[in-house]
Structure 1
């Protein structure tokens, strides 16, 4: 099998990430791992208390100070139609500092964790493009490049689940480019 043939398929979906039937859903988490707004809040609400309980166990053991930006860790998916939630903390965009390596790390580390879990399908949101202020076109470019360059292990499909048409178009252009 050639390297190109072994790369995961990249699929774009416009919709709600909490509706995705995949092995792992990636959560654009805050460093506390205890829920928040946006994608993070939606995943915690829909997934139920099991996710929060797992996150609290992580905070009590390995991540007492919170999950660092660019890192990833997995929990149960609770009531979501997935097996796991992979939590990653995206960087806040700063116009005077190139933080794209941290954003790329979110995608690479999430795929590393997915591979360790044996996940075959992974759904990503557009990390850091909401409240963190990352420009959508650049966030899409960084995301697509990172997943194309990452070692995906068992992952066969990478699904970008984009909330609206604007985000969908930005990712469509990044995949085509």
Structure 2
């Protein structure tokens, strides 16, 4: 599977519980982007490696490996709305995102990020919904999960270990499917 096909079509469904993180990652590795493929501006905003000592620019930042693991947990692919959901939910799960932080991140993703990393207005709706969904979730803040220690486990078991409420996510996915009937990344969710 080449990178474009992987980005456009592959994801681990929220209904899939048996695939291990390791096996999901093996598929991803064959066509995945490397950290060095990500534009520097995106890395500076989303990767904690670029945080100033004692200053986290945006709550919920992760490296690319952990970010990919979160995609598997949340049942999302790699298109814009998928990224918006994963980033928003991860940020929201910290329970520390301010309204200003949400607005600033939205500004960066809409006006500063290069294509295809930027978000349009519909993507920002998904991002903002996901921030709120992550906030009301009682799961472990996803940016703090040690995915390497869970790598051999089935994704369903990992979801349970981190307290991810799949019923909550599925309920939101039904809403997103209804709101974005024209978007493949929304209609394939359940």
- Hey, which of these two has a bigger chunk of strand by percent? 1
- Hey, which of these two has a bigger chunk of helix by percent? 2
TM value normalised by structure 1? 0.30
TM value normalised by structure 2? 0.29
